[in-house]
């Protein structure tokens, strides 16, 4: 499975679990009340929850699909969402 887009819905409790799973994709900036998707792995280059733009992942980002899926499965709030291609 290849993940092409990932975003974070509301309700993050900043538990750091997703960051631990994949630091190249997830981050919790100082003072932020939510984890974000890093612009480094997004074609639009924006670092935020990606709920509005729904920016696609870069090729390098899609190569992290396994750990993104792991992060989504491990999120205690079940708010990490993604789209895939087969």
With the C-alpha atoms ordered 37, 39, 42, 45, is the resulting torsion angle positive or negative? Answer: positive
Minimum CB distance to ligand SF4 smaller for 6 or for 62: 6
- The site string for ligand SF4 over 45-64 (x = CB under 6 A, - otherwise) reads --------------------
Distance CA 28, CA 63 (A): 21
Q: Which of 3, 6, 25, 35 binds ligand SF4 (CB under 6 A)?
A: 35
Q: Which of 53, 58, 77, 81 binds ligand SF4 (CB under 6 A)?
A: 77
CB 28, min distance to ligand SF4, A? 6
- Token output for 59: 């090729």
């Amino acid at each position: 499975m290849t993940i092409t887009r990932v975003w974070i819905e509301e309700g993050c409790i900043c538990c750091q679990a997703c960051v631990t799973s994949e630091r190249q994709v997830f981050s919790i900036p100082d003072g932020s009340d939510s984890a974000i998707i890093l612009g480094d792995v997004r074609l639009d280059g924006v670092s935020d929850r990606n709920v509005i733009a729904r920016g696609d992942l870069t090729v390098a980002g899609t190569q992290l699909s396994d750990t993104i899926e792991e992060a989504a499965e491990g999120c205690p709030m079940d708010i990490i969402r993604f789209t895939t291609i087969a």
